[in-house]
Amino acid sequence: MKSSSKKSISKNHTISKFVSKLLVRLFILILAAAVIPVFVDDEIGAKMETTYVYIENKWVFVFPLILFLSFLTLLILTGRARHEKTDLNWMLSLNTLLLIIYVIMLFIRLAPLIYK
| Cβ contact 83:20 at 8 Å | yes
Strand, helix or coil for residue 5: coil
Dihedral sign of CA atoms 82, 86, 91, 92 in order: positive
Task: Output 50-57 pairs: Cβ under 8 A, ≥24 positions apart.
Answer: 51/113, 51/114, 53/110, 53/113
pLDDT tens readout for residues 38-54 = 888 888 878 778 878 78
- Maximum C-alpha span of the chain: 72
- For the chain, residues with pLDDT lower than 50 are 1-5
101: Cβ–Cβ under 8 A, 6 or more apart, which residues? Answer: none
